[in-house]
Structure 1
Amino acid sequence: MQEPQTSVDTAANEQAVNEVNPEQSVENHDARIAALEVALEEAKAQVLYVKAEGENVRRRALDDIDKARKFALEKFSGELLAVKDSLDAALAVENADVTSYKNGVELTAKQLLGVFEKFNIAEINPLGEKFDPNKHQAISMVPAEGEPNTVLSVLQKGYALNERVLRPALVTVIQPK
């Protein structure tokens, strides 16, 4: 069994060859330089390929983000179309009395609340609750009986999307004495 050659042995062999035939040694160096130049060009090409591939991945990711922004509301919009259709149908009725209109509006409101629930839009109706400036916007403070800084009336309900306030509730608050 033959032992593997070490780098010291290889260097010694090359020196012995160079001493025997110096012209052949120059040819070996030239061939070696040519091989290294080819390897360098291959490495440069590989670097360019990796760089181009990285740029393509970045561009595709940006395109995906752009599409996500454009179509993020697609499902929500589709659900709202059913509510719009209900409103249009109510407006198209020629011979209806107030009761039927009221019933139709109530059904449409329920339909809209169903859409809100499906998309985690919660109503903020803080009547009787402690005033919270993060969820409520006080329009006025009124002297009244009750706990100070409590919501006395709600002028306009607020809404939150996934617990993030979209619109604060407009309220009047009991004034401290």
Structure 2
Amino acid sequence: MHDEHPTDQSEPTPEQPDTAASRDETAPDPGGSPPPEAVSGSSSSDADADGGTAGDDLAEVRRQRDDHYQRLLRTTAEFDNYRKRTDRERRDLAEYAATDLLTDLLPVVDDLERALAADTTDAEVYRRGVEIIRKQLLDLLERRGVAPIEALGADFDPNLHQAVTQEASDTHRDGEVIEELRRGYTMRGRLLRASMVKVAQA
């Protein structure tokens, strides 16, 4: 006889909840997107920061513009004052030079008046007086840097001479100045007045 053993029928164990899966469903994903409210707050902060930076940049640009404009106004005013000052100094210098020249001319005028007041009919006396006055004038011009142009016998130079007429000649070079009709002068090497001359034409 076989012994009958009761069949071992164990009761099924109730399923335990998967705690790991539950944790995964509830825990935030470190690598995922932040919650919508967090994104919204961050965007608002960034917008405020960008707006503040743009406003600061605009204010700085305006400040630099105003600074450059003020500098331009000051420079313009300084240049205008400099121009007025140099013009005034130039006028003063010209007036001083004219005064100095006139002062040197007064002794010549004095000699002319004495010559006219002289009680004489001697032509030679008058001639000597005129020569003295002429020498005074030439000395005055020389002190001022004025020198006569030696034109007679020189070749015609359009930079120094003004040809009034030409004359055919077999005894002079072509273009030679054969007569000085009015003396010319230079002042410190620059032409003051051209000589009026007659030029030979061979």
**Structure 1 position 74, deviation (Å):** 2.0
C-alpha change, 1:135 and 1:56, in structure 2 (3 Å) is closer
C-alpha change, 1:164 and 1:56, in structure 2 (3 Å) is closer
CA contact (8 A) 1:138 1:173 kept: yes
Q: Which residue of 2 aligns with 1:155?
A: 181
- Picking from 94, 103, 117, the partner of 2:142 is 117
Does residue 172 (structure 1) correspond to residue 198 (structure 2)? The answer is yes
* d(CA) in 2 for partners of 1:56, 1:146: 60
Q: Which residue of 1 aligns with 2:54?
A: none
Q: Which runs of 5+ in 2 are unaligned?
A: 1-62
Secondary structure of 1:72's partner? Answer: helix
How many residues matched?
Answer: 134
**Structure 1 position 62, deviation (Å):** 2.9
Secondary structure of 1:69's partner? Answer: helix
Q: Which amino acid aligns with 1:148?
A: D
Q: Which amino acid aligns with 2:186?
A: A
**Structure 1 position 53, deviation (Å):** 7.8
* d(CA) in 2 for partners of 1:76, 1:147: 41
Structure with higher Rg: it is 2
Q: Which residue of 1 aligns with 2:106?
A: 81
Q: Which has the higher contact order (CA 8 A, sep 6+)?
A: 1
* d(CA) in 2 for partners of 1:51, 1:167: 43
Equivalence map 1:1-177=2 (5 Å): 54=78, 56-144=81-169, 145-176=171-202
TM-score (norm 2): 0.58
* d(CA) in 1 for partners of 2:155, 2:184: 15
* d(CA) in 2 for partners of 1:60, 1:136: 39
Please tell me the root mean square deviation across aligned C-alpha atoms, in Å. Answer: 2.5
CA contact (8 A) 1:125 1:154 kept: no
* d(CA) in 2 for partners of 1:126, 1:100: 30
**Structure 1 position 67, deviation (Å):** 1.4
CA contact (8 A) 1:137 1:169 kept: yes
C-alpha change, 1:60 and 1:140, in structure 2 (3 Å) is closer
